[in-house]
Amino acid sequence: MSEQAPNHQYDTKDPKAAQSNIEHDESILESTIEEFDPASNSGDEATIKNDINLDAFQARIAELEDEVKSAKEGQARANAEAYNAQRRMEQETEKSKKFALQKFAKELLEVVDNLERAIVSVQQDDDADDAIMEGVKLTHKSLLNVLNKHGVQVVDPQGEKFNADLHEAVGIDPNAEADTVGEVLQKGYTLHDRLLRPAMVRVGQ
């Protein structure tokens, strides 16, 4: 234990003596502070403090690692959601492009039907002009080619098994086998595999 600071009053009349007393007291004060300074304590106390600080740092590191992991997982989820949203948008856009002509194509089918009726009518007329017949056939073929180019396909199921998804039964054909399409009264059409108009048929019993 260091010596106690003397309890005296400085001699203000003798500056040198007063300065000497001040320096002496400061020396005693410094030695007292050092005696109670934790840094100057035993090695065990310093080790305990170091262990405490190390545990605190390790806990903070673990906490930061968890925060980084959570942030990465959140970013990954956000990226996945953005990718899925983009894919859905692309699919909807592609779907809209495919079926944008649905109404227009369906109206054109009436023109196709009229041309086919004209061909049948001309074929039954012995006095029909062959040039007119050829012109009607070419017009019919050209129109079908344009429709096919844009994904419209003919459904002409004569002799096939009846399919309620593509065919509409409007009568019975006594000459056809059971559940088989006999006479096709009106051809059907699909647009990119989606039913545009069912084929009107008669089915065997």
pLDDT digits (tens, 9 = 90+) for 122-179: 888 777 778 888 888 999 999 999 999 989 999 999 999 999 999 999 999 999 999 9
Is residue 16 very low, low, confident or very high in pLDDT (cuts 50, 70, 90)?
low
User: Residue 22: which of 38, 33, 36, 6 has the closest Cα?
Assistant: 6
* Number of other residues whose CB lies within 10 A of the CB of residue 196: 21
% of the chain surpassing 70 pLDDT: 75
pLDDT at 1: 46
Q: For residue 20, is pLDDT > 80?
A: no
* Residue 3 in tokens: 């010596």
Q: Which two tokens stand for residue 50?
A: 């170091």
176 close to 202: Cβ distance less than 8 angstroms: yes
Pairing state between β 167-172 and 199-203: parallel
CATH architecture of residue range(s) 102-203: Roll (2.30)
Is 10 in contact with 21 (CB distance < 8 Å)? yes
Q: Where are the domains of the chain?
A: 102-203
107: enclosing H helix or E strand: helix 102-124
Paired with 77 in beta bridges are: none
**Torsion on CA atoms 39, 41, 45, 51, rounded to nearest 10:** 20
What is the chain's mean pLDDT, rounded?
Answer: 80
pLDDT at position 95: 78
Place of tokens 């100057």: 40
42 pLDDT higher than 90: no
